[in-house]
Amino acid sequence: MKSRFNTFLFDFSILSIFRRGSKNIFIFFVFTLLIFLLSSVLFISNSIKSELDTTLNALPDITVQRLQAGRAVNMPLSRVNKLLAIQGVKAVVPRVWGYYYFANAGVNFSIVGIDSFEDQYRDLYTKLCDKFDFDALKKNRSMLVGSGVKKILQNNFYGKYFNFIKPDGGLVKVKIAGVFKGDTKLESNDVIVLPAKKAREIFGIDKDKAVDFVLRIANPVEIPNIAAKITALYPDTRVITKEELSISYQNLFDYKGGLFLALFVISAFTFFMIIYDKASGVSSDEKREIGILKAVGWTIDDILKEKFYEAFIISFVSFVTALCLSIFYVYFLNAPLLKNVFIGYSNLKPAFDLPFSFDFQTFAIIFFLTVPIYIAATIIPSWRVASMDADEVMR
């Protein structure tokens, strides 16, 4: 029994692709490049969204800063107990952090002071760091640095130690006990984690003060009420709720997303220009060939089927190639060049690692924006020619 699928027609389509090799290679490259751009932009946007969700989940319920003359100043630790006394406040964590300007390299490091390097955190550090000297950490004379910091320090001949300059001109010598792994969230270069005591020395923050407080609230519904109570209790503070921070992050991510939307629109526009160009006509050789096929007994359906196979093979192979390249570029190479759009913004530091977030919807969007449109752009002009009398087409 004859098979229903016409292998001769399919073979003829493949043959036709190779017969018009140079033209089809050009189409393949352009098509692949554009799908690659479109999908990279969509993948990165998805990653931003996913990163945003992660960031928002990790935000503190309430952040309290003290203001003086409109500027943030250090908070007295004596306020911790009063804040804890407010009903619904689960925890108050004073933070010691800041930016340290390293003039030799002209860069800022983000310094985060933590209370102590305790044994219970040994596993965590093992996960986060490539190598570290836990004993040195325990003695509170060491620090963990981001890979970027390590690189900058090495370039400036600080291999094992670094001397921080205190506000009074004195030096604070801190040993480098470990380096954060490149693939962790903290890879992004500029982070230094050291004991809070050392951080106070470096920034000249008194023992009884902190940069700000972060609060955990038992019931999220109560956050606005507690924020209002804190403002009433300490009128010199700025109380930032999780929601307000979320909005500010959202704006930032929207801005970054907007840049990518612009890139997306440009890629899509170029794609449609090429498609329009292709759709606007069939070459004289192709026209003549369609005429010959009709003259020897091919129906319009046969011709369209053959053109469909041709277009589908080219566009689908391009689509799969571009998608694989895009996944490799975004998630394995971490989108060099395009990723630069994201770094260099302090709010995003210490991390912007593109997390893998591939969903079927993205796949479907890219597929339906490209493959069927290309197939239609190939078939419609062929259909126009095939609908004419064979004699007329051959002439």
Residues contributing to the site for another protein (CB under 8 A): 2-3, 6-9, 12, 15, 19-20, 289, 291-302, 387, 389-392, 394
Distances 392 to 196, 299, 302, 351, 389 between C-alpha atoms, Å:
87, 15, 19, 65, 5
CB nearer another protein, residue 1 or residue 103: 1
Residue 314 CB, shortest distance to another protein, in Å, is 17
Mode of pairing for the β-strands spanning 75-76 and 209-210:
antiparallel
Mode of pairing for the β-strands spanning 142-145 and 171-180:
parallel
CB nearer another protein, residue 198 or residue 294: 294
Residue 309 CB, shortest distance to another protein, in Å, is 12
Residue 49 CB, shortest distance to another protein, in Å, is 49
The answer to whether 62 and 352 are in contact (CB under 8 A) is no
For residue 350, cis peptide bond before it (omega within 30 degrees of 0): yes
Q: How far apart are CA 177 and CA 160, in angstroms?
A: 8
Residue 386 CB, shortest distance to another protein, in Å, is 9
CB nearer another protein, residue 91 or residue 390: 390
Secondary structure letter of residue 299 according to DSSP: -
Instruction: Classify the phi-psi angles of 189: left when phi > 0, otherwise alpha if psi is within -120 to 50, otherwise beta.
Output: left
For the record, the structure tokens of 76 come out as 């007295």
Total count of residues recorded for the chain: 395
Residue 388 CB, shortest distance to another protein, in Å, is 9
Residue 9 CB, shortest distance to another protein, in Å, is 6
Scan for tokens 């002209």, then name that residue. 106
CB nearer another protein, residue 16 or residue 250: 16
Q: How far apart are CA 10 and CA 266, in angstroms?
A: 35
CB nearer another protein, residue 143 or residue 311: 311
CB nearer another protein, residue 118 or residue 392: 392
